[in-house]
């Protein structure tokens, strides 16, 4: 198939593009410049690629089929400047460099630590629900709840002043928009890096009790590395969970029978969170990997240097993963879903995200027994224009 026909538009609120769901598990796509890229949608195949060290996570040369033109322009820009993966940005690194950075952070995000943090998360959630309750109806659930909760939590953990949230929230939003041009990406990156460089400099002088100060004291990282790690954690720490909270609430309100089950059996919340992660899979852009040698995925031969784009969203709707994958079923037993990825790059903050969602959804449902959409579902502005799917706003009443 040619890239001009690559499906990115959704026909429904919660399903990935229908054509993507009908792809074979591994599909070759011919880009307009004559090169070949791959799209992988099968659950077993996506999982296998993510676990295979012969696929590199260095995406500086990657061109996925869902936004090839922008990827190519970015690649040209980086090549012209001789830039590779920024130091410290370990999401784009392979072993052994990847592990050296990740190991500095894993102890901060263990399941035990995140559960210990749940009391504090509950306070933050409660404050935001107070704010929502005091708002005129209809109120936007994204602005009062879904976005502030994870932003406040990651700011506190990392040691970023929440008062300066607009600077990183704006940057993340710009960088995640599919149509942001290369010049704007440049300007935004420069601005957010300036903000983080100032923050790192301040922490050197006056350390506080947070991850960033801890890294400065113990790790021997350069300021450049600290800035890139901070931006990675900050961006990954708020946009993903924010969209799960917003889109998850929208999904529950659109599936009243599921919402009813969850209200009747609140103990189901942890598995319901797993099901929402699977069903909604907000990482809607293709996850890039680059083949470092000629290798096969099933019967298909991928050549060295070719990009493989992984659709986590399609993989999580594979019938081989679970029965009736197109149904939202909060009672479904936990699946091996790929919403947090797989392999050595699997989400560092996944236990934090689980805690935020479990505490957040539980408190929202407890507090707002009559929560409802304040507009028709068709009027909810969807994030079809963003690399992370969700709702831009969710007007609710109660």
Partner 1 sequence: MKIIANTEVCIGAGQCVLTAEKYFDQSEDDGTVIVLNETPDAGDEGAVEEAVNICPSGALSIER
Enter the tokens of residue 231: 């931006």
| Shortest Å distance, C-beta 90 to partner 1 | 11
Binding mask 108-147 for partner 1 (x = CB under 8 A): xxxxx-----------------------------------
| Shortest Å distance, C-beta 348 to partner 1 | 8
Binders of partner 1: how many residues, by CB under 8 A? 25
Instruction: Name residues contacting partner 1, limited to 322-351 (CB under 8 A).
Output: 336, 340-344, 346-348, 350-351
Applying CB under 8 A, which of residues 51, 116, 182, 320 lies at the interface with partner 1? Answer: 51
Are residues 359 and 384 in contact, defined by beta-carbon separation less than 8 angstroms? Answer: no
Are residues 55 and 290 in contact, defined by beta-carbon separation less than 8 angstroms? Answer: yes
What DSSP state is assigned to residue 301?
Answer: E
Are residues 42 and 27 in contact, defined by beta-carbon separation less than 8 angstroms? Answer: no
Three-state DSSP class for residue 327: coil
Q: Beta-strand (E) ranges in the chain?
A: 26-30, 36-40, 55-56, 139-140, 287-291, 295-297, 300-302, 307-310, 372-373, 395-397
Nearer to partner 1, 105 or 252 (CB): 105
Binding mask 75-114 for partner 1 (x = CB under 8 A): ------------------------x--xx-xxxxxxxx--
Nearer to partner 1, 26 or 348 (CB): 348
| Shortest Å distance, C-beta 331 to partner 1 | 18
Nearer to partner 1, 222 or 346 (CB): 346
Instruction: Name residues contacting partner 1, limited to 165-194 (CB under 8 A).
Output: none
What DSSP state is assigned to residue 268?
Answer: G
Give the sign of the dihedral formed by CA 44, CA 48, CA 51, CA 56: negative
Beta bridge partners, 309, equal 39, 288
Confirm or reject binding of residue 304 to partner 1 (CB under 8 A).
no
Distances (CA, A) of 338 to 53, 271, 279, 301, 335: 18, 15, 10, 24, 9
Confirm or reject binding of residue 2 to partner 1 (CB under 8 A).
no
Q: What residues line the site for partner 1 (CB under 8 A)? A: 50-51, 99, 102-103, 105-112, 336, 340-344, 346-348, 350-351, 354
């Amino acid at each position: 198939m040619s890239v001009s026909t690559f499906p990115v538009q959704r026909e429904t609120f919660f399903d990935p593009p229908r054509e993507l769901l009908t792809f074979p598990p591994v599909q070759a796509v011919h880009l307009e410049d004559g090169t070949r890229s791959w799209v992988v949608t099968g659950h077993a195949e996506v999982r296998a690629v993510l676990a295979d060290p012969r696929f590199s996570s260095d995406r500086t040369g990657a061109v996925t089929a869902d936004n090839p033109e922008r990827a190519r322009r970015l690649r040209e820009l980086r090549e012209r400047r001789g830039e590779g993966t920024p130091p410290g940005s370990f999401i784009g690194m392979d072993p052994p460099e990847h592990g050296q950075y990740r190991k500095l952070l894993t102890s901060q995000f263990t399941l035990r630590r995140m559960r210990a943090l749940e009391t504090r998360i509950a306070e933050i959630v409660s404050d935001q629900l107070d704010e929502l309750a005091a708002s005129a109806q209809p109120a936007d659930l994204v602005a009062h709840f879904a976005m502030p909760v994870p932003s406040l939590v990651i700011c506190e953990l990392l040691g970023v002043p929440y008062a300066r949230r607009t600077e990183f929230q704006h940057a993340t939003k710009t960088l995640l928009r599919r149509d942001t041009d290369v010049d704007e990406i440049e300007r935004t990156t420069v601005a957010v890096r300036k903000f983080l460089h100032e923050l790192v400099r301040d922490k050197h002088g006056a350390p506080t009790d947070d991850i960033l100060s801890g890294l400065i004291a113990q790790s021997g990282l350069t300021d450049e590395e600290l800035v890139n790690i901070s931006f990675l954690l900050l961006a990954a720490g708020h946009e993903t969970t924010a969209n799960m909270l917003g889109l998850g609430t929208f999904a529950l309100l659109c599936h009243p029978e599921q919402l009813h089950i969850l209200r009747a059996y609140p103990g189901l919340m942890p598995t319901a969170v797993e099901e929402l992660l699977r069903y909604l899979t907000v990482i809607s852009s293709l996850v890039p990997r680059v083949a470092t040698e000629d290798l096969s995925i099933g019967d298909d031969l991928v050549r060295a240097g070719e990009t493989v784009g992984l659709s986590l969203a399609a993989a999580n709707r594979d019938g081989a993963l679970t029965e009736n994958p197109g149904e939202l079923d909060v009672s479904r037993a936990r699946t091996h879903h790929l919403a947090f990825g797989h392999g050595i790059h699997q989400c560092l903050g996944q236990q934090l995200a689980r805690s935020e969602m479990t505490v957040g959804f539980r408190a929202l449902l407890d507090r707002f027994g009559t929560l409802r959409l304040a507009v028709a579902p068709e009027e909810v502005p969807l994030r079809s224009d963003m690399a992370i799917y969700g709702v831009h706003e969710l007007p609710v009443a109660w």
